[in-house]
Structure 1
Amino acid sequence: MLLLGVASLSLWLTSTHANQPHVAQLLIEGPIGPATTDYLERSLKKAQNQGARLAVITIDTPGGLLSTTRDITRLFMQSDIPIVTYVSPEGARAASAGTFLVYASHIAAMAPSSQLGAATPVQMQADDLDSAMRDKVTNDAVTHIRSLAERNGRNADWAEQAVREAATLGADEALAANVVNYVSASVEALLADIDGHEISLQDETISLRTADLEIRQYAPDTRNRILSLLANPQIAYLLLLVGIYGLIFELMSPGVLVPGITGAVCLLLAAFSLQILPINTVGLLLIVLGGILLVAEFFVPSFGIIGVGGVIALTAGSLMLFDSSVPGMELSMNLIYAVALVALASVAFIALVMARSRMRNRKPSDRNVVGEQGKVIENLNPQGLVQLGDEVWPATAESSRLITHGKLVRVTFQQGTMAFVEEIKKTEQQPARPFWKPKPR
């Protein structure tokens, strides 16, 4: 009973502390993407349920996706607690999409030496937009940011300049131009500054009481960290490649399972990543085509011609997959170079192995090889090469089905120096001799 009482008291104290009035501090750092929306939405809901009186969102971002930005501004406008954006620490910036978030908040503040602006929208595949479409996108963004400015009583004319002319301001300039409400050196100083500030929230005017409120951090949880990882273009790209090649290797060697399972899992994760990221469909198709051509080089040896075509398609698709002009959406050139070099090295290796297999061994003699077992050294599709003893024989698969490199075969018929073979099934192969066999007693 005593233990039960202690546990109940501890639970009551924890619940009481969790629901005490406090300030929720959230952080937007780096490019703004779908994971940012998820983090803000879930954290603001949690903060409100735990008694937060307002949320201070610290911002340091180069920008991000326009669609995601609209989702977040809508979230701010529909919030039941006041939203305070704070461009911090010193030297931080709220560029591009970050400027929209600053204008969408009930109160905007900046740290000394921080900056905001350059809010010209960057559309995916912007090079394909004609002048009329560019004007439409720009005018839509201008209308949106002006409405945010007018809603929160800030400088709408400068907001339009930030969109049309990529104008920027420092902290003191932004304060003087009525773009932000405060310039504060820290979150604590900001809370002291805004104490007593009146805002309009859900059609009601309220006066903030922030003095002596506890500041509580709301960091991303495990779910959001995983989502952030999957929303990273580098990770999505690698998952796509591993998925494609995993399934291809499983088709080349049926029954191994590991490449197939790994490939299927990676492809599903890549599909989720590419669903939440804006991609270029042509780039994706080129990557898939590149993978197919690289595998075709293995099945239909062309001494590198097909393989080089695959490397070119893979590299071109990688360059086109994401729009590098959108902050955080670009693929690392070093990663693309590394993938291209590995693919090129694979093509060179396959071509070298196939060339050497034709030259290194003795030519077939006129002996009878029916019944002999050998190994495929060049895919039988249905014709290729097999090694019988120390001789290389041209061979044809009797079943007309592909028999891949390394498979064991048996000669069933011979016509001159052409051997007709069948694959030896695993159930027919002799088990490997044990390394050690105990002596019978």
Structure 2
Amino acid sequence: MKRLIAIFFFLPVLMFAQVYVIEVHGTIDMGLGHFFERAIPEMNKKGGDAIILDIDTFGGRVDAATMMKTALLKSKIMTVAFVNTKAISAGSLITFACDTIIMHSGGTMGATTVVDQQMNKASEKAQSYMREEMASTAEAKGRNGKIAMAMVDESLDIDTLVLASGDTMFMDDVEGARPGKLLTLRTSTAIKYGIADYEMESLEEIYSHFNLKDREIEIVAPTWSEQIVRFLTDPIVSSLLMTIGFLGLIFELQSPGWGVGGTIAVIALSLFFSTSIIAELASITDLIIIVIGLTLLGLEVFVIPGFGVAGIAGIAILMYGLFRAMIPEIPTQLEINRALVGVLISLIGAIVGSVLLIKNIGKTKFWHKVSLQAAELKTEGYSSTLGLEGLVGSTGVALTTLRPAGTAILNGQRLDVVTLGDYIEKDTKIEVVRVDGNRIFVRAATN
């Protein structure tokens, strides 16, 4: 009786075991790699009948794909790759890591060579690593390692192949294999040579073939926090964060004390760096380098008069730290080039943006809303309560470094002043040259 009760309670579990579906669409990045490292073990712990990858990608980061491959090879649950419709470059490595490969009728997989920013072939070191990764992964699942290697390196001299059926054939007879060309297989060819197992058109057809239609289908996707990290570490977004950070620093260096520009810079650079650490792009060493750069910039703003060695060194060190934070520990030439271009574009964008903002901010509706536009003239009875016009020709002392704005003592009053463009050190004797509205223009006194 107890056995019957136990069977009654556990029957739904046996009948509706889990089938997990993961979409691998678009660029393969570090966020996706970390997602696989977390999600695949969790699925194995929960148990289930199958993990199905819906793959449609041109590839991406080699290190991220390697993380995904490792997680798949360790899975105790059956893994199925559904190439729907392309598994190119790093996507092929992930596909080879699955127990079963199913391809859409219009599917392709291969072309896995490592390239740089200009789409030129990367170093032999990178190619050698990728060749062995592809071959060992394919062989771990009973597939032909030589075909996998031919997807990476077109210069390989491979004469014969032993197919999964035990038959031997010449490499020159493999459809799609041409001297000096990378190997890319279409669906029918991949099945013919034992790389793919089936041709199917949809996930529903896969469920039916493996008798999974009565199972509970769970779509597994990155959590909201993982999605945020993936978004913020996207090369375009991370470059934008750097641009905002540099723009804020430029504004901060142009004004005394600490203001909005510095706050915006800290927020943008913190978002950039914290997500890079989570994605394991940045290390503690990178953090130390960036802190040194920011410290030098802080000394330039608050302590050292003028703008000199400390400021230039701070910017250079900060740029180097941000560059390091954008590349993995063992980067490819493509990743190095992307990081260099990202940092340079961000710096140039910040400089151009600051110039345009300074020239046009006075014309914006926002500025008109937050600033006083109307002015009263002396003929209408207005007189300045500070009597600023009378300050022309008077002398005083700079209380802060004027870069070009700052604070000075004039006629016993603490007033905001601005130079004619020069930097004037703290405690320098100054002279008022003109007054424009409430702006007091000064220069270093000549005597």
User: TM above 0.5, one fold?
Assistant: yes
Q: Residues 254 and 19 of structure 1: is their aligned pair in 2 closer, same or farther, counting only changes over 3 Å?
A: farther
Q: What residue is the counterpart of 2:351 in the other structure?
A: 343
Compute the displacement of 1:153 (Å). Answer: 1.7
Matches within 5 A, 1:138-149: 138-149=127-138
Structure 1 residue aligned with 2:140: 151
1:227 is aligned, of 226, 229, 240, to 229
Check the 8 A contact 1:19/1:51 in 2, yes or no.
Answer: no
Q: Which residue of 2 aligns with 1:137?
A: 126
Q: Shift of the alpha carbon at 1:178? A: 1.4
Contact 1:56 1:84 in 2 (8 A): yes
Distance in 2 (alpha carbons) for counterparts of 1:169 and 1:147 = 19
CA separation of 1:189/1:342 partners in 2, compared to 1, >3 Å: closer, same or farther?
same
2:69 equivalent to 1:73: yes
The answer on 1:27 being equivalent to 2:23 is yes
> Does the 8 Å contact 1:20/1:51 carry over to 2?
no
The equivalences for 1:154-303 within 5 A come to 154-165=143-154, 166-193=182-209, 195=210, 210=212, 212-247=214-249, 249-250=251-252, 252-256=255-259, 258-275=260-277, 276=279
The code of the aligned residue for 2:54 comes to T
**Partner residue in 2 for 1:360:** none
CA distance, structure 1, for counterparts of residue 393 and residue 208 of structure 2: 87
1:58 is aligned to 2:61: no
The DSSP-based 3-state class of the residue aligned with 2:151 is helix
Contact 2:151 2:183 in 1 (8 A): yes
The 2-side partners of 1:261 and 1:239 are apart by: 13
Per the TM alignment, residue 116 of structure 1 is displaced from its structure 2 partner at its CA by 0.9
Show structure 2 runs of 5+ residues with no match: 1-8, 155-181, 362-384, 413-427, 433-447
Cα gap change, 1:324 to 1:232, in 2 (>3 Å): farther
Structure 1 unaligned segments of length 5 or more: list them. 1-12, 196-208, 354-371, 375-387, 414-418, 424-441
- Contact 1:26/1:56 (CA < 8 Å) preserved in 2? yes
After superposition, the C-alpha distances for 1:143-177 in whole angstroms (9 at most, x for unaligned) are 22111222212232221110002321111221112
Partner of 1:366: none
Sort the Cα spacing of 1:265 and 1:346 in 2 relative to 1 into closer, same or farther, 3 A. closer
Decide whether aligned partners of structure 1 residues 39 and 325 sit closer, same or farther in structure 2, where only a CA change above 3 A counts: same
- Percent identical pairs in the alignment equals 22
Closer, same or farther: CA 190–37 of 1 in aligned 2, 3 Å: same
- 1:97 Cα deviation (Å)? 0.4
* One-letter code aligned to 1:95: I
User: Are 1:38 and 2:41 matched, yes or no?
Assistant: no
Confirm or deny: 8 A CA contact 1:247 1:259 kept in the other structure. yes
The answer to whether the Cα contact below 8 Å between 1:33 and 1:65 also exists between their aligned partners in 2 is yes
The question of whether the paired residues in 1 share the 8 Å contact of 2:395 and 2:431 is answered with no
Shift of 1:56: 0.1
Counterparts of 1:67 and 1:335, CA distance in 2: 22
Compare 178-187 and 149-158 and name the one that shifted more. Answer: 149-158
Aligned-residue offset at 1:220 = 2.1
Q: Which amino acid aligns with 1:402?
A: T
Alignment partners' CA distance in 1, 2:405 and 2:45? 63
Report the 3-state secondary structure (helix = DSSP H, G, I; strand = E; otherwise coil) of the residue aligned with 1:108.
strand
SS at match of 2:130: helix
Deviations 1:115-149 (A, max 9, x none): 111101246899897xxxx3333222222211122
Aligned runs of 1:261-410 on 2, under 5 Å?
Answer: 261-275=263-277, 276=279, 326=334, 340=348, 343-344=351-352, 346-347=354-355, 389=389, 397-399=397-399, 401-405=400-404, 407=406, 409-410=408-409
Whether 2:129 is the aligned partner of 1:113: answer: no
| Alpha-carbon contact 1:150-1:156 (below 8 Å) kept | yes
Q: Label 1:105 to 1:341 Cα distance change in 2 as closer, same or farther (>3 A).
A: closer
Cα distance in 2 for residues equivalent to 1:73 and 1:373: 73
Structure 2 Cα separation of the partners of residues 51 and 393 of structure 1: 85
- How big is the shift at 1:114? 1.6
Q: Helix, strand or coil: the match of 1:83?
A: strand
Change (3 A) 1:168 1:127: closer
CA distance 1:77–1:107, change in 2 (3 Å): same
* CA RMSD, Structure 1 to Structure 2 (Å): 4.9
Rounded to whole Å, the distance in 2 between the matches of 1:138 and 1:86 is 26
Does the CA contact (< 8 Å) of 2:239 and 2:345 recur in 1?
no
- 1:7 equivalent in structure 2: none
Q: Deviations over 1:89-134 (max 9, x none)?
A: xxx31111001111111111111112111101246899897xxxx3
- Number of aligned pairs? 330
CA–CA distance in structure 2, aligned partners of residues 217 and 150 of structure 1: 29
Question: How far apart in 2 are the matches of 1:233 and 1:101?
Answer: 22
Q: Distance in 2 between matches of 1:336 and 1:136?
A: 27
CA offset at residue 73 of structure 1? 1.1
Instruction: Return the offset for 1:43.
Output: 2.7
1:98 is the counterpart of 2:91? yes
